[in-house]
Each structure stands twice: as structure tokens, then as C-alpha cells.
Amino acid sequence: MNLLNHTPILILALPLLAAFLIPIIGKINKKATGIFATLVLGLSLILTIILAVKILSVGPQIYVFGAKSPLLTLPSSLKFPIRIMFQVDAMGIFMGLITALVSFLGAIYSLAFIDKKDGLDSYYSLLLLLTVSMFGMEFTGDLFNFFVFLEIASMASVSLICYRGTDLGEPVEAGFKYMVVSSIAALMVLFAIGIFYGEYDVLNIAAIASVIKYSQLDKIALGILVSVLAMKAGAVPMHMWTPDAYSEAPAPITMILVAASQASLYAIFRVVFSLYNITLNTLAVGWIIIIFGLLSMFIGVTMAIIQKDIKRLMAYHAISQTGYMLLGVGVGLAVLANPTALQRYGITAMEGGIFHIMNHAMYKGLLFLTAGALFFRTGTRDLNKMGGLAHYMKYTTIFFIIGAAAIAGLPPFNGFASKLLIYESVYKFNPLLSIIAMVVSILTLASFVKVFHSAFLGPKLPQFIEVKEVPRSMVFAMAVLSFIIIFFGLFPDLIVKNLVHPAVMSLIEQFKYTSTVLGGM
Amino acid sequence: MIGNFPYITVIIYIGCGIYILMFQKNLIKLAIGINLIENGINLFLITLGFKKGAVAPIYTQAPSGQSMVLPTPQALTLTSIVIGIATTALILSMAMMIYKHYGSIEVNEVRRLRG
Amino acid sequence: MKEMSRIVKIVTNFIYGFIIIFGFYIIAHGHLTPGGGFQGGAVVASAFAMLLISYGQLKAKKFLNINIFSLLESCGLTMFIVVAFLGLGTTFFYNFLANSGSWFGNMVIPGINPGDMNTAGVLPLMNIAVGLEVFAGLGIIVLLMADGAEYTKKKENAENDR
């Protein structure tokens, strides 16, 4: 029994088993729950890297549940697959690597950050369930399976946002808003899945992609799916839950929530590129995604400049950076039917958008972790009350400078690499979009200079006289993210050629997703 | 035309649910609104599997010689009902915690996060 | 919440055992008749809700213990995942007990049949695991909500007395 054949399911099943064992372990010893969760997430990260090496060298992997071999998709001469299966191609494993890294670092940071004594086992159990659901959303090849994992993610993240809700009322209000929004989003996704099932009698993404006819009902389903998944990803004008949810959650959970929002973004790309493959009117849908991106970029950054709460400011910046990803991939979608334009700038735009997903997870995670470190030592998130903290917290200051320079797009950090790809290719498509993107980047830099000045610079304040540096596990998590930011900034060519370009090609070559499962139909 | 009656009921359910979510201010009423949308979608899923003159898809002691309705949407609906229970329990628990902190469950009075 | 009158308590004492047995009947026959893990678990949890309502929250806390429910829930979940892992010889969730002659392993006659309980392999085990988890989980939800209601009522009464 070759265990490497079962890697796609072991990445999910081991954290799931650990999540169910943690309440039993928690009755014996409370501190062991955190260490156990961190070890299991580390094992998951190693397995994800092994699976990534296998996919990038061999090809997309399929894993079928409950069949006689992991690759048997069509049981006994039926025409369409009727089993639940995982189909991991280069784009899926790209998102899987982000999820694995972010969850592992979030668990390490939580070892020191969470100091409440009584709800600790449910915290780690929910963190593992959130990780499992994100992996499930990114690896699955079945539409209803995606819906189930989407609901698990929303429920686990709402419970984690309300983690401080026993003492304060604001996290519960933020969690309530997020639950109502997630609930409507998931129910509308189920409605669209019902439309697909009623028309074609299959639930598998590859099987629907091979028989889809783009009738009137399919157009309704496309509209519902794109708008509702953009609501879960935090695009304007459906972004109202994002500032509340990201600011009231504990800091490591906010980092994982950013990755969960990006999993919904991945779902938009999977639906538009692989599900409706050549029947789509790519110019119209591409322009709709570009408009979402432009609105998100601009409104996100203008609402961010005026904020006084540090995590709320960073949450608005998360909305703005999501706009960059939507802009890049939207330009790639709009020119998909035009081969010369695709070769000239379409592929580069998509590379920029998809590389920006990973860069954003890294530097936004680092910024949220530094905001969490400031909250841990000073007890406040208000920028007017903080000041002069660079004298006491030297490591946190350096990490904040790295994160702020990365988000503003300064070389040699990784934000510059992906933003340059987006600027150059979008300029050739339509110059006005690129100019708006550059103005948004300048406003991003302005707001982070404001945060740096008011939180870190200035004279030593008397009320912070006992503030020390944060504990070692938190510094370790922030240091790993900083190292990745600097490494991706110095060698972007390595990452784009080996990780991002196969992901973009697996989205653009639309028939490859179907033919992997149905064998050349 | 009479065969479209379940689908019209689905639209009425979802429409009532969305109306309640837009215009009501009590948190418990919002929970009821989400529950109504959920019931509408479950009804939609079950109606998709219907065949005229068919029986329930159970093999144990079934009448012979008749076709059966499609069983797959029934599995999807069951999963959706389970998720609905968890969602309702979570929303009602959060409404109770908001009442514990603020003493009121009207949306105008408990809102503290602005901007 | 206050306890209810004597008639309600006598009827509850008589009937909650039958509801629990009926719930376990629905869980155990899930692969033959309508029902299964979740439905049976919900019926059993409704018996606990009936006990809670008719005896009031203070008295019911003595014989419905949250720690035992939590332990049962974790055991149910772990059993489900471990049974899924045991099929890893072929794939995850593989039904390695069906049509094999051992536990729950009789051959299934395709088509309409009077229903043999000894069939369908791994499915009854997973039904039992899910049923255990569901009734423990729903029991915890009902007990904690009753706790919360009691706490807010005490706070309201304390404020009204001031």
C-alpha cells in the first residue's frame, strides 16, 4: 500500500482526526492541545509540499472516495462519474500551499497569544476544522462537496470570531453579521447547484463542464455564483462584513480568515474558467470581474485612510488588495478568446493576479500578526492611544516595516513583483485601469506611513514603560513570513516559472480539467 | 401549469425570507428569515427529483412494478437540513449573548461597530 | 425555567424511555428504512429536551451531565473517522465490510427485497457513530442554552429588585 498515493486525502483526514481527538486530550492536559495541533498542521504542511512536487512533475492527481483504486473515476462502464472525488491540479495545490503555511504559522502564533484558560480545546479544534474546510474547498472536484466545505468554513470561522465574546459584546456583533452573510451566500450557492443538477443530472465539475450548453438557466446560475462568491471573498459592494469580522477576531484567526476568503476567490476562477469552459462570453464576464476589482481597490483604500483602529485599517486594505487579484485575472479572462492578445499580455496579467494571491496572504498575514503583537502588549487597538513603541518592541518594528513596504509595492519585496506584472499587462489592455491601480498603490503607502508614524515613532510614553518584546513563538511566526517575503522579492522569477505559470496554464487550457477525469472526451 | 406549483412556492418562501432580512429589526426575526430561505431551498431540491406516479426510493418491501423518484436530491436535502440546524443554533446562541451584554436585541440599539 | 406540574412529570417519567428506544431503532435500521444517524439522533435529543422542560433547569442539571455528553460526542466523532481510515487499504471511506461474510457482511440481493439487517457493511457502524454524536451534540446545545436563559433571568431579576 503506497501511502503517497493517498496524499490528497491524508492532508485533510489527519487534521480532521486531530480535531476530533482534541476535546479528549483537553480533559487530561490543556497545554498539550496546542502543541498537538501545531504538530499535526506541520505534518500537513510537509504532505502538501510532497503533493506539490508530485503534481508539478507528473500532472493533475485524482483521488476517488470509496472505489477500488484511487484513480478509478468511472465505475463499471457508466458514462459519468458518480463518486465524490478530489481533483488536484496546479492551481489547487498553489492555494493548498498557502493554506498549509498560513494555518501552521497561525497555530504557532496562537501558542503564546491565546491566554484565556477555559475555552482552549475548542479553539484549537475549530482552528483545525477551519483548515480542513479550506483544503476541502481547494482540492475538491465535486460541486456539492464544495458547498459542504464552504458551510463548515463559515461556521468554524464565526465561532472563532466570537472567541472573546464572553467578556465583550463587539465580537459577537461582528460574528452575527458574518454568519448572516455567510448563510445567505451558502444557500444561494446551493440554489445554483440545484439548477445544475436539475438540468444535467450530474454534480461533478468535470462532468458538467463536458455537457454544459449555456442555456438561460445556466446564465442565471453564473450570475448567482459569481456575485455570491465575490461576496464571500470581500469584493465591493458586498464588503460590509469584512472590517468588523477581521478586526474583532483574534490576530492569528484573522490571518487564516484572509486565506479562507481567497479560497472563495479560487472558486470564482474555477467556475468561470473550468466549469463554463468555452461557452462563456469571456469579454462580458471579464469586464464584470474587472469592475468588481476596480471598485474594491478604490473604495477599500479610501475607506482605509480615515480609520483609527489598526486592524480595521488593515481589513480595508485586504479588500483593496483583493481588487488587484480580481483585476489581473479579469483582464486575462477578457482576452481569452483572442490568441494574440493572450500571448502578449493576457497570460502575464493572470500571472500577476495569481502571484498576488500568495503575496497578499504572506504580507497581510505578517501585518495582522504585528497588529496582534501590539494588542498583546499594550491592550489597545486605537492608533490615537499608541505611540513610541519602537523603543520597546524592536523586532515587531522591523517586521512591520517589511510588511508595510511589501504592501505598498516597494522593491525588493514581493509586492513589487506581482504589482509590476499587473501594471504592465493591464496598461496594454486599457491604460486607465493601470493608472487607477497605481494611484491606489500610492494611497496604500500613505496610509501605512500614517500607521507607522502614530504607532511606532515618537517619544517614549509613560503608560507603556513596562512593554517588552513579544514571546518567542510569536516572533518565530513573524520571522518566517518576513523571510518568505524577502525571498520571493529577490527571486520572483523562480516562483513564477515553477509555481504560478503551471497554475495559470491549468486555468487557461480549459479542456485539461475535463479530460483528466473523462479520459479524452 | 399545475406542475409548476412547487416552484412558485419556492419563490414565495425565498421572497418572504429576503423581505424579512431586509426590513425587520429584531435579531430573532432575522433568524426566522434565514430559516425561511433555507426551507425554500430544501423544497426546491426535493422537487427536482420528482417523476409522475413514482414511489419513494426505498427497496425494503416496496410495491413492485413502479418507478422510483430520484434519490440523490434527497441526500443533498438531508445534508442541507443538518447544516441548517447548526446555523440556527449558532445564530440563536449569538443572539442570546448579545442580549446578555447589551440588554436589548433590536439592531438599532446594539450596533457599536461603525465606519 | 420553572418545573412543570405533576401530571407532566408523571407522563415524562413514563415516556422518555420509549422515545430513546425509538430513536435508537431509527439509528440502527438506517440502511433499510428511512432514517439513519442524524434523524435518530435528533429523536433521542428530543427526549432530553423533554426532560429539561418538564423538570426545570435546576433539577435537570443533576441528572444530565454536560461532561459525559461531551465525552460521548468526541467518541462518536472519533469512531466515524477511524472507521473511514480503516478502508485506507483501497481508498478512504471504502466499504471493506460489505459482501464479505463477516460482521454486517451478507450478500445484498439487488432490487426489491424484504430487507436483511445483516447487510451493508460499514454503513450501520457509521450510522451508530453519527447518531451518538448527534444526540450528544444536540443535548449539549439544549443544556447550554437553558443555562444562558437562567443566567439572563437572574440578572434581570437582580436589576428589577434594585
Mutate to test the interface with A, among B21, B32, B113, B114 (most CBs of A within 10 A): B113
Chain A residue numbers with beta carbons less than 8 Å from the beta carbon of C70 are: 23
**Neighbors of chain A with 3 or more C-beta pairs under 8 Å:** B, C
Q: Given an 8 Å threshold on Cβ–Cβ distance, is A169 in contact with B72?
A: no
Nearest by CB to B58, from C34, C42, C111: name it: C34
Task: Please provide the average confidence, as pLDDT, over all residues in chain A.
Answer: 90
Euclidean distance between CA atoms A16 and A30, whole angstroms: 19
* CB-based contact, C79 to chain A, within 8 Å: no
Euclidean distance between CA atoms A219 and B48, whole angstroms: 19
> Backbone phi, then psi, for A85, in 5-degree steps?
-140, 155
Per DSSP, the residues of A388-415 read -GGGT-HHHHHHHHHHHHHHHT-TTSHH
Question: Is residue A288 very low, low, confident or very high in pLDDT (cuts 50, 70, 90)?
Answer: very high
- Nearest-CA distance C112 → chain B (Å): 5
Euclidean distance between CA atoms A356 and A361, whole angstroms: 8
Nearest by CB to C148, from B78, B85, B96: name it: B96
Cell 439513519 appears where?
C36
Complex ipTM tops 0.90: yes
SS (HEC) of C60-112: HHHHCCHHHHHHHHHHHHHHHHHHHHHHHHCCCCCCCCCCCCCCCCCCCCCCC
pLDDT tens, residue by residue, C67-82: 899 999 999 999 999 9
* CB-based contact, C155 to chain B, within 8 Å: yes
Nearest by CB to B62, from C112, C141, C155: name it: C112
pLDDT tens, residue by residue, A472-507: 889 999 999 999 999 999 999 999 999 999 999 998
Task: Please provide the average confidence, as pLDDT, over all residues in chain C.
Answer: 88
Q: Quick one: closest CA in B to A152, which residue?
A: B83
Nearest by CB to C111, from B59, B89, B92: name it: B59
pLDDT tens, residue by residue, A171-226: 999 999 999 999 999 999 999 999 999 998 889 898 888 888 888 999 999 999 99
Task: Give chain A's radius of gyration (CA, Å).
Answer: 22
Q: What is the pLDDT of residue A139?
A: 93
Nearest by CB to C77, from A9, A13, A20: name it: A20
* CB-based contact, C144 to chain A, within 8 Å: no
pLDDT exceeds cutoff 50 at C142: yes
Q: What is the largest CA-CA distance in chain A?
A: 77
> Backbone phi, then psi, for A219, in 5-degree steps?
-65, -40
Asked if residues A310 and A448 have their Cβ atoms less than 8 Å apart, the reply is: no
Chain C residue numbers with beta carbons less than 8 Å from the beta carbon of A27 are: 67, 71
* CB-based contact, C82 to chain A, within 8 Å: yes
> Backbone phi, then psi, for A512, in 5-degree steps?
-70, -35
pLDDT exceeds cutoff 60 at A1: no
HSE, side-chain direction, 13 A CA sphere, residue A482: 20
Q: What is the pLDDT of residue A521?
A: 43
- How distant, in Å, are the alpha carbons of A314, A386, A467 from that of A389? 19, 7, 8
CB neighbour list of residue A222: distance below 8 Å, 6 or more residues apart = A271, A272, A276, A280, A285
- Nearest-CA distance C96 → chain A (Å): 9
Chain B residue numbers with beta carbons less than 8 Å from the beta carbon of C115 are: 59-61
Q: Given an 8 Å threshold on Cβ–Cβ distance, is B72 in contact with A191?
A: no
Q: Which positions 40-59 of B are in contact with C (Cβ < 8 Å)?
A: 56, 58-59
Nearest by CB to B60, from C38, C42, C114: name it: C114
Chain B residue numbers with beta carbons less than 8 Å from the beta carbon of A191 are: 41, 44
Q: Which of A8-17, A23-32, A375-384 has the highest mean pLDDT?
A: A8-17
How many contacts, defined by CB atoms under 8 Å, are there between B and C?
A: 37
Distance spanning both ends of chain C, measured CA to CA: 22
Chain A residue numbers with beta carbons less than 8 Å from the beta carbon of B27 are: 176
* CB-based contact, C148 to chain B, within 8 Å: yes
Other residues' Cβ atoms within 10 Å of the Cβ of residue A306 = 11
Q: What is the pLDDT of residue A81?
A: 75
Domain count, chain B: 1
Q: Given an 8 Å threshold on Cβ–Cβ distance, is A1 in contact with C89?
A: yes
Chain B residue numbers with beta carbons less than 8 Å from the beta carbon of A162 are: 94, 97
Euclidean distance between CA atoms A88 and A11, whole angstroms: 12
* CB-based contact, A199 to chain B, within 8 Å: no
HSE, side-chain direction, 13 A CA sphere, residue A251: 31
pLDDT exceeds cutoff 70 at C20: yes
Q: Given an 8 Å threshold on Cβ–Cβ distance, is B113 in contact with A159?
A: no
Eight-class DSSP state of B62: P
A314 CA to centre of own chain: 15
CB neighbour list of residue A343: distance below 8 Å, 6 or more residues apart = none
Cell numbers representing residue B36 in the block = 425561511
pTM: 0.95
> Backbone phi, then psi, for C83, in 5-degree steps?
-65, -35
Q: Given an 8 Å threshold on Cβ–Cβ distance, is B93 in contact with C148?
A: yes
Euclidean distance between CA atoms A364 and A481, whole angstroms: 10
Chain C residue numbers with beta carbons less than 8 Å from the beta carbon of B64 are: 112
Q: What is the pLDDT of residue A371?
A: 93
Other residues' Cβ atoms within 10 Å of the Cβ of residue A475 = 18
Distance spanning both ends of chain A, measured CA to CA: 31
Chain B residue numbers with beta carbons less than 8 Å from the beta carbon of A175 are: 94
Q: Given an 8 Å threshold on Cβ–Cβ distance, is A13 in contact with C95?
A: no
How many contacts, defined by CB atoms under 8 Å, are there between A and B?
A: 90
Q: Residue A250: is the preceding peptide bond cis (ω within 30°)? A: no
Nearest by CB to B115, from A169, A175, A307: name it: A307
* CB-based contact, B100 to chain C, within 8 Å: yes
Q: Is A102 exposed, middle or buried (0-12, 13-18, 19+ CB in 10 A)?
A: buried
Which of A365, A317, A360, A361 lies closest to A479 in space, CA to CA?
Answer: A365
Q: Is A251 exposed, middle or buried (0-12, 13-18, 19+ CB in 10 A)?
A: buried
Euclidean distance between CA atoms A47 and A7, whole angstroms: 7
Other residues' Cβ atoms within 10 Å of the Cβ of residue C114 = 9
Mutate to test the interface with A, among C74, C130, C141 (most CBs of A within 10 A): C74
Choose between A121 and A81: higher pLDDT: A121
> Backbone phi, then psi, for C113, in 5-degree steps?
-145, 160
Q: Which residue ranges of chain B lie beneath pLDDT 50?
A: none
Euclidean distance between CA atoms A254 and A105, whole angstroms: 12
Asked if residues A451 and A384 have their Cβ atoms less than 8 Å apart, the reply is: no
pLDDT tens, residue by residue, A54-97: 999 988 888 888 777 777 777 666 777 778 889 999 999 999 99
Residue-wise burial string across A134-170, b where 16 or more C-beta atoms lie within 10 A, e elsewhere: bbbbbbbbbbbbbbbbbbbbbbbbbbbbbbbbeeebb
Task: Give chain C's radius of gyration (CA, Å).
Answer: 20
Q: What is the pLDDT of residue A345?
A: 87
Domain of B40 in residue numbering reads as 2-112
Strands (E), A105-162: none
Sign (positive/negative) of CA torsion A90, A91, A97, A103?
Answer: negative
- How distant, in Å, are the alpha carbons of A161, A171, A255, A258, A264 from that of A249? 4, 7, 10, 12, 19
